[in-house]
Amino acid sequence: MSTIDYAQKIPNNVNLSDDRTLQRALEGWQPNFIQWWDDVGPEGSTDYDVYLRTAVSVDPQGWAQFGHVKMRDYRWGIFLNPGDANRQIHFGDHKGEKAWTDVPGEHRANLRRIIVTQGDTEPASVEQQRHLGLTAPSMYDLRNLFQINVEEGRHLWAMVYLLHKHFGRDGREEAEALLQRQSGDENNPRILGAFNEKTPDWLSFFMFTYFTDRDGKFQLAALSESAFDPLARTTKFMLTEEAHHMFVGESGVSRVIARTCQVMNELKTDDVQKVRAAGAIDLPTIQRYLNFHYSVTIDLFGADQSSNAATFYSSGLKGRYEEGKRDDDHLLKGQTYRVLEVQNGQLVDKEVPMLNALNEVLRDDFIKDSVAGVNRWNKVIEKAGIPTRLSVPHKAFNRQIGALAGLKLSPDGRVVSEAEWQARQSEWLPTTEDRAFVASLMGRVVEPGKFANWISPPVMGINRQPVDFEYVRFN
């Protein structure tokens, strides 16, 4: 096997060229990764030259180098934010001790589980999105999809590096398994439910990158507090890239809404059929897609009460979002938090120990953040002079995990009977007809500067390039 010039092929700041054992491990893993990319990465894109942002270092000039590159040749680097030799653990039972540079034996299994679960989401979303390039609404959007795909690939590399470097043989086996599971596979699915859902169309993709990548932001932010310093430093750097994924989602939905409002004003109608006949996606359908993606995503935070969450916090493995900005004792013993549960068919609030409710704390932070973006979408509708407003459903709506799983609830938070749920589900969640209609709009538009009829152009191009720049060269 040919050796790899690490400084070139895998830009890194972890002294890869000095670590022979790690080099050998990654030399074994790299061809399997490329094989996985060829098999289930972006379909039909092998020969394209794509205007991509590549990270070659963690400083502001280095992490965003732009240029046309073939995705298969993308330089998936391994970067950790700069370390602080004096960093201390700032929460949990080890608070005040020095942060760990190696994995403590007693936390090995839990840390491995955390890294594998995070690592598993990254290739999963590439698999979920592999066909989307065939129905891109513009060359600009196609490039954004590909940028997200290569960055999810880089985030997989980041987790694989940790597994290879710190977890010996177990880590190497887990790194292999990350390429063997597949999104939606009956026999060997991805670990988390949302990552086995299909992303069949671009409205789903924008909602996914708005909501589900935002879950990624909160999970990564909680891990960036970790006492295990290499994990904290690598997730901090991943957050810089995650911001772009959420931007694609938020601006994508915003542009769909802008186009819909334009059509409604031109036709002077809010009649769903007329809006659809004009080739735009009506606001009620956008609301149903929002309800679905939001409810699937908030399940990703796990059960409302979890002893694992308590263990991860107390052991210093995973903090809260912006742990350093919270003004409590960072131990949380004796503190409580309110969670929802069902009693006699009704939703009730209940005080539980905060340590056991940390999934819920993170979920509530996520909800606050999500609502802010939905309000910005409403500004677009308001500006167009249309009275409709979008909203996030109640957090107990359509839940499949935790104490609220299977509860029949309307989006506004009313417990409803099975009969009412069956009768009105089509008002609240995307129907087969909705999905077929959205799919019918998905034709490929890839001439520079042209956009599909159902979406508005963006306000500006990428990296100060014009909107009609040749972001993808099809060769």
CB 340 within 8 Å of CB 357: no
pLDDT-derived band at 10, boundaries 50, 70, 90: confident
pLDDT (tens digit per residue) in 55-75: 877 876 666 789 999 999 998
Q: Are 341 and 304 in contact (CB under 8 A)?
A: yes
- Percent of the chain with pLDDT strictly greater than 90: 88
For residue 98, give the 3-state DSSP assignment. Answer: strand
- 149 and 124 Cβ atoms separated by less than 8 Å: no
CB atoms within 10 A of CB 276: 18
Name the pLDDT band for 1 (thresholds 50, 70, 90): very low
Query: Residue 381: helix, strand or coil by DSSP?
Result: helix
**Over 50: is that where the pLDDT of 151 sits?**
yes
Rounded alpha-carbon distances, angstroms, from residue 221 to 230, 244, 360, 403: 14, 15, 15, 25
Q: DSSP characters for 288-309?
A: HHHHHHHHHHHGGG--SS-HHH
Task: Tell me the angle at which helices 358-383 and 229-267 cross, rounded to the nearest 10 degrees.
Answer: 30
What letter does residue 349 receive in the DSSP assignment? E
Count of helices and strands (H, E) across the chain: 14, 5
The reported pLDDT for the residue numbered 180 is: 98
**φ, ψ of residue 49 in degrees (nearest 5):** -100, 120
Q: Which two tokens stand for residue 336?
A: 């409580």
pLDDT tens digits along 378-427: 999 999 999 999 999 999 999 999 999 989 999 999 999 999 999 999 99
Within 6-117, strands assigned E span 49-54, 65-70
What 3-state DSSP class applies to 53? strand
- Domains of the chain with CATH codes: 6-473 (1.10.620.20)
- C-beta of residue 225 within 8 angstroms of C-beta of residue 318: yes
Give pLDDT tens digits for 324-361: 999 999 999 999 999 999 888 889 999 999 999 999 99
Look up the pTM and report it: 0.96
pLDDT reported for residue 7: 63
Q: Which of 463, 460, 455 lies closest to 135 in space, CA to CA?
A: 455
| Averaged confidence pLDDT in the chain | 95
Quote the radius of gyration of the chain (alpha carbons, Å). 23
pLDDT at 12: 87
- How many other C-beta atoms lie within 10 A of the C-beta of residue 446? 16
Q: Evaluate whether 287 touches 184 at the Cβ level (below 8 Å).
A: no
Task: Determine the Cα–Cα distance for residues 260 and 186; give it in Å rounded to an integer.
Answer: 37
pLDDT in tens, 433-473: 999 999 999 999 999 999 999 999 999 999 999 999 999 99
Query: For residues 216 and 440, what is the distance between their CA atoms, to the nearest angstrom?
Result: 30
Q: What is the pLDDT of residue 62?
A: 66
Half-sphere exposure of 219 (CA within 13 A, CB side): 20
Q: Which two tokens stand for residue 7?
A: 């400084």
Q: Which two structure tokens, joined as six digits, stand for 72?
A: 């298969």
Residue 416 vs residues 29, 287, 397, 421: alpha-carbon distances, Å: 51, 20, 11, 6
Mean pLDDT of 93-117: 97
The contacts of residue 438 (CB under 8 Å, 6+ apart) are 201, 203, 204, 281, 285, 289
Cα 309–Cα 310–Cα 312 angle in degrees, nearest 5: 65
Positive or negative, the Cα torsion across 262, 265, 270, 273?
Answer: negative
Task: Count the Cβ atoms, other than its own, within 10 Å of residue 350.
Answer: 15
> How far, rounded to the nearest angstrom, does the alpha carbon of residue 168 sit from its chain's CA centroid?
28
**Per-residue model confidence as pLDDT tens digits over 353-387:** 999 999 999 999 999 999 999 999 999 999 999 99
Q: Token digits for 253?
A: 């939905």
Task: Using the Cα atoms of residue 220, residue 224, residue 226 and residue 229 in order, give the sign of their dihedral.
Answer: positive
Closest CA to 352 of 331, 338, 366, 367: 338
2 has a pLDDT exceeding 60: no
| Nearest Cα residue to 64 out of 117, 111, 11, 139 | 11
Nearest to 41 by CA among 72, 70, 73: 72
